[in-house]
Amino acid sequence: MKFRRFLSGLFFVVSLLSLYLANAGILSFDKPYIYRFSGSLKNDNNLVAFTHVNVIPMDSERVLEDQTVIVRDGVIESLGSSEQVQVPREALVVDGQGKYLMPGLVDMHIHIQYENDMLLLVANGVTSVRNMWGSTGKMLRFGFPDQLVLRKQIEQGKLFGSTIYSAGPTMEGSPSFHPLAGVFDTPESARESVKWQASQGYDFIKVYDHLSPDVYRAIIETAQEEGIPVVGHVPFAIGLDGVLASGQRTIEHLTGYIDPDAVRFIIQEDQLEEYAIKTREAGVCAQ
């Protein structure tokens, strides 16, 4: 009898919790909204005309007023005064009166953890994203989306979302910063992973904090052989100077320059100009 009451009580609590999570939008038994929404946006017209719109070209601080922009197959074909540009009869016309048109924004560091994020990004003008952790293995089993699958679906027009450029799974050493991060303690395992990531179509390899020098070198060398850029953090065992000399293409969060936890510079303030020059000469983007 007590056990039956316990099960009944447990079922009641779980039911209430599920109802709360569903109402809060955290738990869903249906497909993510992006899959249902994308089907309603299908448009076979490959020619679109934005008329009487104010264009922000972003090549300088100016606004081009009352413009018509013709877009064919996703590429701008012509742009000019609405009085001068002829709108093709077969075009889908979008009235831009009183509105503004600008180039799409690019989010250079994002973690795509929900498919619905893609709609939110586009709704805010972000048309390209740089995903900094590719979901594989345990992450997929925990429900994180496969960014390569999302990218393919968007390219095929099956989903409505931003263009995705993605790193592969984060490459970390011991001790790992995250239970879902891949740990690479040997050069052999690192080389194998880099080759696999390149074969899967990832755009770059991401390195993290605790990689040992020999593993880091193996990643850099193999990535160069495979023709895939290395991006990410400044591993503690390598240091900023080592990363700048390595061929790594980007440094995320200014790691190596600053300590975000302590909110202080790692390099001395009187060396800031020197390291700015070193970074530029190395062709590294520090952001």
Q: How many domains does the chain have?
A: 2
Tell me the whole-structure pTM to 2 decimals: 0.81
Chain segment 230-250, per-residue pLDDT in tens? 999 999 999 999 999 999 999
Residue 260: pLDDT band with limits 50, 70, 90? confident
Reply yes or no on whether the pLDDT at 201 is more than 90.
Answer: yes
CA distances from 216 to 32, 155, 241 (A): 38, 33, 14
Reply yes or no on whether the pLDDT at 224 is more than 80.
Answer: yes
Q: To the nearest whole percent, how much of the chain has pLDDT over 70? A: 86
Reply yes or no on whether the pLDDT at 24 is more than 60.
Answer: no
Please give the helix or strand (H or E) that residue 123 lies within, else none.
helix 117-123
Chain segment 97-132, per-residue pLDDT in tens? 999 999 999 999 999 998 989 989 999 999 999 999
Reply yes or no on whether the pLDDT at 20 is more than 80.
Answer: no
> Strand 126-131 relative to strand 163-166: parallel, antiparallel, unpaired?
parallel
Q: Would you say 165 and 129 are in contact if contact means Cβ atoms under 8 Å apart?
A: yes
Reply yes or no on whether the pLDDT at 44 is more than 70.
Answer: no
How much is the pLDDT for 5? 64
Q: How far apart are CA 243 and CA 284, in angstroms?
A: 9
CA distances from 162 to 32, 104, 141, 168 (A): 16, 10, 24, 18
User: CA-based angle 197:203:207, to the nearest 5?
Assistant: 65
Looking at the domain assignment, is residue 17 inside a domain? no
Looking at the domain assignment, is residue 145 inside a domain? yes
Looking at the domain assignment, is residue 2 inside a domain? no
Amino acid at 114: Y
Looking at the domain assignment, is residue 24 inside a domain? no
pLDDT, averaged across the chain: 89
Nearest C-alpha neighbor of 88 from the set 52, 47, 46, 51:
47
Torsion of CA 221, 240, 189, 210, to 10 degrees: 180
Reply yes or no on whether the pLDDT at 43 is more than 90.
Answer: no
CATH number at residue 51: 2.30.40.10
CATH number at residue 144: 3.20.20.140
The verdict on 120 and 91 lying in the same domain is no
Nearest C-alpha neighbor of 131 from the set 95, 168, 101, 88:
168
CA distances from 177 to 18, 209, 210 (A): 31, 8, 8
Cis, peptide link before residue 175, omega less than 30° from 0 = yes
Q: How far apart are CA 148 and CA 201, in angstroms?
A: 8
Chain segment 265-275, per-residue pLDDT in tens? 899 889 999 99
Give the chain's length: 287
Q: Would you say 232 and 250 are in contact if contact means Cβ atoms under 8 Å apart?
A: yes
Among 21-30, 73-82, 225-234, top mean pLDDT goes to 225-234
How much is the pLDDT for 34? 77
The verdict on 143 and 179 lying in the same domain is yes
